[in-house]
Amino acid sequence: MGESVVEGVIGGIIGVAIGIAGALATAHFSPVLKATVGQTSTAGGAGGFPGAASALNQAAQTVNVHLTAPVSPQLVLLAVGLALAGGVLAGAFGGWRASRLRPADALRRVD
């Protein structure tokens, strides 16, 4: 069980390092996207009935969209916790399966 915990922690640390490197690469190498947003102002007439509104101003505005992958301490702790839980679960299942076998049977067969 101790081996599974250590492997989970090491896997979590390596995963966090790869994730942070990927987030930095995404922020550095991603292109800047441009989006055009149209704005329309309407004025209601005749009590706001449909068809009574007239468009006063139509303007287009271009917005730059930067792709980012934010990394927070809570997200890092969640990632390490999930890796640790996965390692413990895998170790517990393997240990439970091994405990059900007799030693002679375990030595005789390989799955």
pLDDT tens readout for residues 32-69: 888 887 765 555 555 555 554 444 455 678 888 888 88
97 and 49 share a domain? no
What residue spans of the chain are helical by DSSP H? 2-29, 73-99, 103-108
60 and 95 share a domain? no
pTM: 0.59
43 and 77 share a domain? no
- Show the tokens assigned to 100: 């059900």
Angstrom distance (rounded) from CA 99 to CA 56: 78
Asked if 64 contacts 94 with a C-beta cutoff of 8 angstroms, the reply is no
77 and 92 share a domain? yes
- Find the domain containing 19 and state its range: 1-30+68-111
Give φ, ψ of 44 to 5 degrees: -85, 145
49 and 103 share a domain? no
Q: How many domains does the chain have?
A: 2
72 and 54 share a domain? no
